[in-house]
Structure 1
Amino acid sequence: TERAEDGWYQLHLDVPALPRRRRIFIEFEGVAMKSKAFLNGKLLGEHIGMFSRFAYDLTSHLKAGRNTLAVFVSMEKIPSSTLSLGQAVTVNLTASKILTLSKGMFGPLSPDANNRSYDLHGIWQPVKLTVRDGAMIDDAWFVPSLDGARVQVAMRSLDGAQPGRLRARWTDVKTKAVLATTEPVDVPLDDAQVTRDLTIRGVQPKLWTPAAPNLYRLDVTLESASGAVLDRWTHNVGFRTFEVRGNRFFLNGKPYWLRGANQLPYGKNSWDPALPRALIRLMHDGNQRLTRTHATPWNEAWLRAADEIGLGVSIEGIRPWGLAGKIGGTPPDMFAHWLMENEDVVKRGRNHPSVLLWTIGNEMLLRDDKSLEKWKLLSDVVKQTRRLDPFRPVIADSTYHREAEFYNGMLKPNNLDDGDADDIHRYRGWYSDSPFVIDTRADIRNLTPDRPLIGQEMSTGYPDLDTGLPVLRYTRDLVTPQAWVGQDAYPGSDPAVFLEHNRAVTKRWAEQLRFQRGDRTAGFMLFSAECWFSHSYDARRATPYPVYRAMRDAWSPVGLALETGRRRFYAGEEVETAAFITNDDEQFRDLDGLTLRALFVDEQTKQEVVATAAAVIDHLPYYATMRQALRIRVPETKGPRVTMNLVLRLTDRKGLVSRTLDRVEVFANPSASVQPVIAARAATVSLGQGLRRFVNDARLFQDVNDGMPPDMDAPRSVLLVGAAAALKEL
């Protein structure tokens, strides 16, 4: 369709004559960017901002019979700007975006942007009509513990001073059994808002976790003195706690390492309620326990799906890169609007058990991270978020890692809040070295004592949602994919080549991040999960790419991973390596009586070819990682190059506990009849078993002997010296 900068919505309402105390409200969950609402030609009100809810009382303008509701929507008038703040990886930041209303990932990004550069505008979130009778509940806030809860209810009269009565009930969503009810609380109602608490103690609810998402329906009822219902507030809630202790997160009092992936394609299709249920089910079944909403908070349909299916959520705020570049802080009017919308985002999300973290924004201080002026603004948003919800950790900036000198010299003396955890972004196997040649210790340095370290954006590249090839922007403009798969990155190539690269590096990196965590890190999210499915924006067509199944293994509750990074072997060789076993059991249990085996499986026939001897593990505590030595014998093959699956399998007395699969290639050993590459003999000194075997297998020399050569052979010998050789001997 043609882009327009403004337009009208119109709805006809047929309404009967209303009883005297009956009220009808229209409630909007999101309109971009400015709106004016009219009923029968009378102005109801105006609203600015796409991330905040608003409502109007229609009653005084309603008439019995046909009514016309009209909403005029227009764009924010954005002045063009040629001032570019540079690239945030691939997002071209501009003053046009940063100095105007909050747009999340939507809105103009190019330097000469204007209103026609928006990704969306208009009524982009649900709208509903609500009927009330003489009073209303403005808000309710559920604050759980492991054996009770408090509900803070804000309410007011719509019909002058009157007595009211407030009560609450919790009902198990699955069994319909009533968990608890409160005694009614008398409330004197008036036009001014009044707040009351309802409390239950000493109950034994089923706790909510991403693996076991137990929910209760909370009904809060506001009644008249005679017992007539004036208004009702209903929400599914979960009993759970999530907090920081030292450098760890704790879920329901147990240490909890975050195994996640982000982001899902909310911005591409936020209005189809089938999409979050399809994708969140895939993520849950794929052992991904947390996601980040990345620059745009989710709506109710997406959060309800996360609550019900089981997926933790880091809600990221509405102004990504909001304080980036050296162009000064956010203008006062824009900052006030930011706080207004952030308040509504927090209030909307804080009743959802799936919401585990608040993240204020993505890469907020890019290229100006020492500005005290901007830190004061960011700190104000952090403090506002804490005031509205002091029961969840807050990430000040998704890419901020506290530096002791700056914190102690600037932030702490000025009482500035830099959040509860450090959060790094890295791009292994994409913009930087492959995890097959470098380990995670290169990225995990200068840890802050008693402060969790996480990574909410650990990227290994982006398969296209339609083709499976690398996203064309990177091939065409950045030449990133060509570094990994060469000409197979270009349009028309077989996508299987890039998809296999993406699968392998993502799995290897996730495994490393996990088995090297020790007591240093608190969890990671691989990026970008929307690229792990073809057609991920369509609930009926979304299909996992190979990386999805690889990450299902890597994030299995009990993790298994090979120590060696090798994925190519010679037939018949023996490999001395190890397996790492990490116990993140989702019932928080220690594990006993485990048996570990490694086996090769033919990729075509799925038949087991050869298995190693069993390794027995007597005891593995919860949250611990252990290294188990393994000797793997590679099977003989019939062909020169055979693809196999190397499988690690962990069992206990009851059966399978965990398994992981790596695709490997097995090559025929070089034949003894092959002519040596070098017409000379080799003499080795302290070369070591591994290098000695490599020299033999490579068939470089006529023969290879240990020790110094005899004098007569010295002129036609090559001396191979290991690092451990004694200088005196040489």
Structure 2
Amino acid sequence: MGSFRAGRASAIIAAPVACLIIAGTLPAFAQSRRDVMVLDAGWRFSAEDVAEASAPDFADATWTQVSVPHTWNRVGYYKHDLGGTNTAATVDKRQGIGWYRLHFATPAGARGKRHWLEFDAASRVAKVWLNGVYLGEHRGGFSRFRFDATAAMKASGENVLVVRVDNAQPKAGGSTADVLPLSGDFFVHGGLYRPVRLVTTAPLHIDLADAGGPGVRATTVKADKDQAQVDLVVRVQNDTAKASKASVRVRLIDRDGAEAASATVPATLAPGKVGEVAARLTVAGPHLWHGTADPYLYDLVTQVVAADGTVSDEVRQPYGLRTMAFDPDRGFILNGQPYRLRGAGYHQDRDGKGWAISREDVAEDIATLREMGANTIRLTHYQHGQDVHDLADRAGMVVWDEIPLVSVWTLGGSKVPDPALVANAKSQLTELVRQNQNHAASAIWSIANEVDFGNSIPSFMFGGADGREVDPMPLLNELQKTAKALDPSRPTALATCCEARAFGNDIEIPTTAAAADLGGANRYFGWYFGKPGDLGPHLDGLRAKRPQQPLAVTEYGAGGALTMHTDNVLGGPADSRGAAQPEEYESHIHETALAQLDARPWLYATWLWNSFDFATTVRTEGDAQDINTKGLIAYDHKTRKDAFWFYKANWNPEPMVHITSKRYVDRAYPVTDVKVYSNTASTELLLNGRSVGVKSDCPQKACVWSGVRLDEGSNALVARGVHAGGTVEDSARWMLAPETARRFVIDAGTLLAAKSEGRVLGSDNWFEGGQAGSLDKPANFGKPAVPTAIAGTTDRAALATYRSGTFSYRVPVADGRYKVTLWFATAPTQKPGTFEVKSGNKTLLRKFQPAIPASGAVAEARTFTVKAKGSLALDFISGTTDARVSMIEIERLR
């Protein structure tokens, strides 16, 4: 991605008319194929900005030895030993200058050849020198780019390649002010984080200056069981001093090595120019690429044949024949048939490596998503590398491609984007299309993500003028025109955040969805706003507003911390910007969302957020630092959260069972619900060898055994699923401490129970009615929560939360007599008044008003003896003010 500044320009000449040749035998041409040298080892790196470092004789022996791909950044870590190896000590969040130097030998037989340096990515601005000769600059951190190094290359001996990269955070007047992204909820790593190569060709070759693309542009214009038609444009560069008579030969080769179609087109190429040659392939009885069910790929082989019959250059690419369409009522259509797309968003970083990942890493990620049952990936929020596209082609994963126009597009209070930034956005879009348009998997060009915040933009974003004054539509319209000119065969899209949200009266939200062909909604009901059940009706409203525009859900989800657990996902509010992000709540959001999405088959796709936890310096949340915890898999890309198994049970037909909350080992209550994700015909749950019961046909493949009474000490759970081919099992082990087996301590009004000295507290549970509240000021995007000091207790964190209103508890204790202690915490802001508390027919508190301090906050307790039969009842009844309680202790009397 990015504008491309080099010392060599290319001209375009008129293309000759194609001459179609039906599949036949390839002549025995002599071969003179391009040579590729991977430049991975022997690099030297310095984080110091040394002005003389571009000189060939600069002394770099003291620089750090590195291999490429390389990034110096390590960002994000967990506050535990699960899911990643980064620590506070190993983190490096520096953004700025980095220098790379490499000494390499000129390849043998280089005389008379052309030499290109190819960079798969350099973040985010790169300047390149070879042997002291400045080759050019590339502005954009995500795309492949090349420089013609022929004139600077030595005929023999050692060459010195120098690259200066700059990933500085954009600011007005800064070195990266015109390079997208200007902001975003992800960290932009620096370095040469994708491979670097030296490409050597004959003087007559397929164009290497085609915006980083292959120089071959192929479009399947028709494909069915009888026939497929592929139209091609091949760009040929003649770097000789004379006009060249040549031909372009294009072949489609099947998996067995047989030629399915070919075309040869004669061309006369002017000296020092690029000519575009058009061709057409017609394939009889084609084998179509049909997603994950049958991702069949041909080889598309493009050759430049000189007048003497020598093949002077060749480009070979896998190529899938398919048609794609998007319909507002039928959804996504693949090869004429509805094909529901269900998948996840994807960021390219991982623990311990940052962005410097390998092809094997990407292959592992694709395999993980396929294991889950996904058939599509949303590549967010920037152009991803060729590895993920190649592997998506092979796996049949339909891809949403996107440029990094994210939330902000002006700096320094400007009301309009800088012309250089507009040019950069168009350049990055051009590179995205040119480099990926031959991939069968690539289906959508996304021109923006969440540029519709208006004046509700989150505090961690920065830059432009008031959101009411910065209109995104002119830029979006420019990008829409650019995309359609580059590739009219694919639709454009963008993802919105905010349209039709219930903001305050002072919030103005621009409607941007109409700027692109397809709609995409990023909506976090039950997380950042609203209730989980609001998602479906909201989508219905968007569809009603634009019934002719196909709609997808491009993001939905919640955070999930590996070490945080809740006993009841409705016990209190999740802390979307702070700590309370239990793993079970993430699963709850996905369970409720999937039910609503499945009920709307007109959605062309749904992409959950996110596949893997990823780095972002705007967050301190859950049990992590600088990590967005919404991944279904941890930052190590291996540790699967419960929500992963929920989707696998629903999307992957392979028989499976999974006991949820396995990491919640030390249990807070002696009675609990047990949830098992299972797609088998029937599932039995066993506790310490005895059956708890058998369930079948569980809604959404989620089987729940309610009110399971645990044994004191160790509890071995086994879920056994029976299917046509046999059985599958999963197991877990929970512990119930002796003191916990005898008592319940309920931290009222909270999703995540507080820690207490000498005892285990459980989150709010067994209640009906009321609302959760807190005396503390909540966290907000990297800013921690502000606790309120509470006098009269050693359990401040527990008493800070409360349940209020009129509500009741039915706690599943054994029959007997119990000591019940009710704790109340109040602050000066509490409304004076009285309420009652009952247990069955017994009134525990009549016209009770907790003490309201003049300043600070204070706690007080009331203790009672209560009889229970079947369950212990507590009823809180509002009077002149809302009833409330902060903590409930229940201990059996012997």
Instruction: Quickly name the TM-score band, shorter chain normalised.
Output: 0.5 to 0.7
Name 2:430's counterpart in structure 1: 343
Verify the 8 A CA contact 1:439 1:512 in the aligned structure 2: no
**Structure 2: which 5+ runs fail to align?**
1-45, 50-95, 208-214, 456-466, 502-508, 614-629, 657-676, 734-764, 767-809, 819-837, 843-868, 875-894
Higher relative contact order (CA 8 A, sep 6+): 2
> Which secondary structure state, in structure 2, belongs to the residue aligned with residue 63 of structure 1?
coil
AA in 2 matched with 1:483: P
Q: Does 1:512 align with 2:595?
A: yes
State which of 544, 561, 567 in structure 1 corresponds to 2:640: 544
Name 1:522's counterpart in structure 2: 604
Q: CA deviation at 1:228?
A: 0.8
Name 2:181's counterpart in structure 1: 103
Verify the 8 A CA contact 2:182 2:409 in the aligned structure 1: no
Verify the 8 A CA contact 2:452 2:496 in the aligned structure 1: no
Q: CA deviation at 1:317?
A: 1.0
Distance 1:17 1:358, change over 3 A: closer
> Which secondary structure state, in structure 1, belongs to the residue aligned with residue 233 of structure 2?
strand
Verify the 8 A CA contact 2:128 2:135 in the aligned structure 1: yes
- Map 1:320-335 → 2, pairs under 5 A: 320-323=406-409, 327-335=414-422
State which of 438, 450, 456 in structure 1 corresponds to 2:548: 450
Distance in 2, matches of 1:244 and 1:659, equals 40
Q: Does 1:152 align with 2:243?
A: no
Q: CA deviation at 1:276?
A: 0.8
AA in 1 matched with 2:557: S
Name 2:537's counterpart in structure 1: 441
AA in 2 matched with 1:128: R
- Map 1:5-154 → 2, pairs under 5 A: 5-15=96-106, 18=109, 21-75=112-166, 100-103=178-181, 119-138=188-207, 139-144=215-220, 145-146=222-223, 147-148=227-228, 149-154=230-235
Q: CA deviation at 1:262?
A: 1.5
> Which secondary structure state, in structure 1, belongs to the residue aligned with residue 415 of structure 2?
coil
State which of 327, 333, 340 in structure 2 corresponds to 1:245: 327
Q: CA deviation at 1:45?
A: 3.1
Name 2:273's counterpart in structure 1: 192
Distance in 1, matches of 2:111 and 2:708, equals 87
Distance in 2, matches of 1:98 and 1:13, equals 30
Identity of aligned residues (%): 20
Distance 1:259 1:643, change over 3 A: farther
Distance 1:205 1:40, change over 3 A: same
State which of 246, 261, 279 in structure 1 corresponds to 2:365: 279
Distance in 1, matches of 2:112 and 2:305, equals 13
Q: CA deviation at 1:286?
A: 0.7
**TM-score, with structure 1 as normaliser:** 0.67
Q: Does 1:459 align with 2:557?
A: yes
AA in 2 matched with 1:62: M
Verify the 8 A CA contact 1:485 1:498 in the aligned structure 2: no
Verify the 8 A CA contact 2:289 2:320 in the aligned structure 1: yes
State which of 144, 169, 178 in structure 1 corresponds to 2:258: 178
AA in 1 matched with 2:517: D
AA in 2 matched with 1:544: R
1:122-178 deviation line (CA, Å, top 9, x unaligned):
433321111211212121122124242222211121113111121122234xx4332
Q: By percentage of residues, which structure has more helix?
A: 1
Distance in 2, matches of 1:559 and 1:378, equals 46
> Which secondary structure state, in structure 2, belongs to the residue aligned with residue 528 of structure 1?
coil
Distance in 1, matches of 2:725 and 2:655, equals 16
Distance 1:546 1:79, change over 3 A: closer
Q: Does 1:365 align with 2:452?
A: yes
Verify the 8 A CA contact 1:379 1:416 in the aligned structure 2: no
AA in 2 matched with 1:508: E
- Map 1:578-727 → 2, pairs under 5 A: 599-602=683-686, 609-611=693-695, 678-679=840-841
Distance 1:461 1:611, change over 3 A: closer
1:678-717 deviation line (CA, Å, top 9, x unaligned):
449xxxxxxxxxxxxxxx987979xxxxxxxxxxxxxxxx
Verify the 8 A CA contact 2:328 2:550 in the aligned structure 1: yes
Verify the 8 A CA contact 1:260 1:525 in the aligned structure 2: yes
1:528-565 deviation line (CA, Å, top 9, x unaligned):
221377985556xx2322221112123347999xxxxx
Distance in 1, matches of 2:432 and 2:608, equals 25
Distance 1:551 1:179, change over 3 A: farther
State which of 381, 406, 417 in structure 2 corresponds to 1:295: 381
Verify the 8 A CA contact 2:153 2:159 in the aligned structure 1: no
> Which secondary structure state, in structure 2, belongs to the residue aligned with residue 233 of structure 1?
strand
Distance 1:399 1:241, change over 3 A: farther
Verify the 8 A CA contact 1:601 1:607 in the aligned structure 2: yes
Verify the 8 A CA contact 2:326 2:604 in the aligned structure 1: no
Name 2:523's counterpart in structure 1: 426
Verify the 8 A CA contact 2:634 2:641 in the aligned structure 1: no
AA in 2 matched with 1:11: L
Distance in 2, matches of 1:79 and 1:679, equals 67
> Which secondary structure state, in structure 1, belongs to the residue aligned with residue 424 of structure 2?
helix
State which of 193, 196, 202 in structure 1 corresponds to 2:284: 202
Name 1:316's counterpart in structure 2: 402
Verify the 8 A CA contact 1:169 1:180 in the aligned structure 2: yes
Verify the 8 A CA contact 1:375 1:416 in the aligned structure 2: no
> Which secondary structure state, in structure 1, belongs to the residue aligned with residue 201 of structure 2?
strand
State which of 234, 254, 257 in structure 1 corresponds to 2:316: 234
> Which secondary structure state, in structure 1, belongs to the residue aligned with residue 295 of structure 2?
coil
Distance 1:361 1:481, change over 3 A: farther
Distance 1:417 1:49, change over 3 A: same
AA in 1 matched with 2:435: R
Distance in 1, matches of 2:365 and 2:232, equals 31
1:554-597 deviation line (CA, Å, top 9, x unaligned):
3347999xxxxxxxxxxxxxxxxxx9x9xxxxxxxxxxxxxx96
Verify the 8 A CA contact 1:171 1:218 in the aligned structure 2: yes
Distance in 1, matches of 2:729 and 2:400, equals 29
> Which secondary structure state, in structure 1, belongs to the residue aligned with residue 583 of structure 2?
helix
1:709-728 deviation line (CA, Å, top 9, x unaligned):
xxxxxxxxxxxxxxxxxxxx
Verify the 8 A CA contact 2:47 2:98 in the aligned structure 1: no
Verify the 8 A CA contact 2:447 2:494 in the aligned structure 1: yes
> Which secondary structure state, in structure 2, belongs to the residue aligned with residue 182 of structure 1?
strand
Q: CA deviation at 1:439?
A: 6.3
> Which secondary structure state, in structure 2, belongs to the residue aligned with residue 284 of structure 1?
helix
Distance 1:633 1:230, change over 3 A: closer
State which of 248, 258, 261 in structure 2 corresponds to 1:166: 248
Verify the 8 A CA contact 1:600 1:644 in the aligned structure 2: no
**Structure 1: which 5+ runs fail to align?**
82-94, 110-117, 404-409, 471-479, 491-496, 561-578, 582-595, 616-626, 681-695, 702-730
Q: CA deviation at 1:282?
A: 0.5
AA in 2 matched with 1:317: I
Q: CA deviation at 1:401?
A: 5.2
> Which secondary structure state, in structure 1, belongs to the residue aligned with residue 416 of structure 2?
coil
Distance 1:431 1:96, change over 3 A: farther
AA in 2 matched with 1:44: L
Distance in 1, matches of 2:730 and 2:373, equals 13
AA in 1 matched with 2:268: P
> Which secondary structure state, in structure 2, belongs to the residue aligned with residue 62 of structure 1?
coil
Q: Number of paired residues?
A: 585
> Which secondary structure state, in structure 2, belongs to the residue aligned with residue 61 of structure 1?
coil
Verify the 8 A CA contact 1:376 1:416 in the aligned structure 2: no
Q: CA deviation at 1:277?
A: 0.8
Name 1:258's counterpart in structure 2: 341
> Which secondary structure state, in structure 1, belongs to the residue aligned with residue 154 of structure 2?
coil
Q: CA deviation at 1:355?
A: 1.8
